[in-house]
Structure 1
Amino acid sequence: MAQSIDYGNLMHRAMRSLIQDVLSDVAANGLPGAHHFFITFDTTHEDVDLAAWLRDRYPTEMTVVMQHWFEDLEVNDEGFAVTLNFGDSPERMFIPYDAIETFVDPSVEFGLRFETQGQDDEDEDDDEPTPPDAPNEGEDSDAADGADEKTGKEADVVSLDAFRK
């Protein structure tokens, strides 16, 4: 039996399960109201399936926006596949939950941030969670600045790793 409870990994699993539940609902019913998502992920993750030109343009990480135009959202226990539009060029991609770095819904000021051990060391003295970067150029969104369109406020990102010892 383990010497301690690994709360960090348990929280990451729970947060990824929450993302799966949200995306499954969107796949079944569409995006309700003003909801939309900024999803930043690690493009170097071995299970990410991405067009070669997108991988070349975003060699380490990429932020995609699911808002006005997306198709064929398929969600499973490992991740999700979706077709997004990049400058009138639809591209299919698969993003595993383990590759997700941030998941933000600015319409309700909700966000999750997944930190790696290296980031824990850098952010050790930082009490405030760091919001994700704005979406990369050319992504499908009218809200590319990351601000809530109605209030103009940035979304708060929840970082539970700050409480981990």
Structure 2
Amino acid sequence: MTSSEIDYGGMMHRAMQGLIANVLRSIATDGLPGEHHFFITFDTRDEGVEMADWLRERYPEEMTIVIQHWFDNLTVDDDGFSITLNFGNSPEPMRIPFDALRTFVDPSVEFGLRFESPEDDEADEDEEVDAEFALDVEDEGDDPGDGPDGGGEVVQLDRWRK
């Protein structure tokens, strides 16, 4: 890209990260309203991701977390967020940079964002955001609250991907 071009893709990417940051800041302050809950998929290989070794071994490339019934210590800064989630009655702190995010979905209102990585589209060197506002979120009995203590269960989002 030359200095005479506008980096719309990069600007949109940063704007969508800012939107997620604002949503998470609101949740950290006021809690989750109504039926809202989030599926957040991230690249576990990102150098800024901090998570337990056993989780990294189990999810060496990508992981999806659910923020719904039980979460603690949610803090948000300009670069990412930290949260403690429950995995099999074991609270685990995590740090997830916004640059590691791949998807953010709130199925209660059929809202979702997908962040494409450069590997996904080698023809375009800039990362692009594909905002999906009408996801198919039919309940297939995979309620994230069905796991241990109803929180922190890892789920796959493949059924919502195109």
Q: What TM-score, normalized by structure 1, do the two folds share? A: 0.75
Report the Cα distance in structure 2 between the residues aligned to 1:43 and 1:142, rounded to whole angstroms.
16
Tell me, what secondary structure is at the counterpart of 1:15? Answer: helix
Report the Cα distance in structure 1 between the residues aligned to 2:37 and 2:156, rounded to whole angstroms.
13
Report the Cα distance in structure 2 between the residues aligned to 1:59 and 1:106, rounded to whole angstroms.
26
Q: Once the two structures are superposed, what CA deviation does each residue of 1:73-118 show, in whole Å capped at 9, x if it has no partner?
A: 0111111000000111110000000000000000000000000222
Report the Cα distance in structure 1 between the residues aligned to 2:108 and 2:24, rounded to whole angstroms.
16
Verify the 8 A CA contact 2:36 2:68 in the aligned structure 1.
Answer: yes
Verify the 8 A CA contact 2:38 2:106 in the aligned structure 1.
Answer: yes
Q: Once the two structures are superposed, what CA deviation does each residue of 1:104-146 show, in whole Å capped at 9, x if it has no partner?
A: 0000000000002221259xxxx9x6x7xx98xx783689576
Amino acid at match of 2:62: E
1:61–1:77 CA distance, 2 compared to 1 (3 A): same
Give ranges in structure 1 of 5+ residues lacking alignment: 147-153, 158-165
Q: In the alignment, which residue of structure 2 is the partner of 1:119?
A: 120
Give the alignment of 1:71-82 within 5 angstroms. 71-82=72-83
Q: Among all aligned residue pairs of Structure 1 and Structure 2, give the percentage whose two residues are the same amino acid.
A: 57
Aligned length: 141
Q: In the alignment, which residue of structure 1 is the partner of 2:51?
A: 50
1:93–1:145 CA distance, 2 compared to 1 (3 A): closer
CA RMSD of aligned residues (A): 3.1
Verify the 8 A CA contact 2:82 2:94 in the aligned structure 1.
Answer: yes
Q: In the alignment, which residue of structure 2 is the partner of 1:163?
A: none
Which range moved further: 20-29 or 112-121?
112-121
Report the Cα distance in structure 2 between the residues aligned to 1:84 and 1:142, rounded to whole angstroms.
9
Give the alignment of 1:84-163 within 5 angstroms. 84-121=85-122, 140=151
1:93–1:75 CA distance, 2 compared to 1 (3 A): same
Amino acid at match of 1:85: N
Verify the 8 A CA contact 2:65 2:154 in the aligned structure 1.
Answer: no
Q: What TM-score, normalized by structure 2, do the two folds share? A: 0.77
Report the Cα distance in structure 1 between the residues aligned to 2:152 and 2:49, rounded to whole angstroms.
22
1:113–1:82 CA distance, 2 compared to 1 (3 A): same
Tell me, what secondary structure is at the counterpart of 2:69? Answer: coil
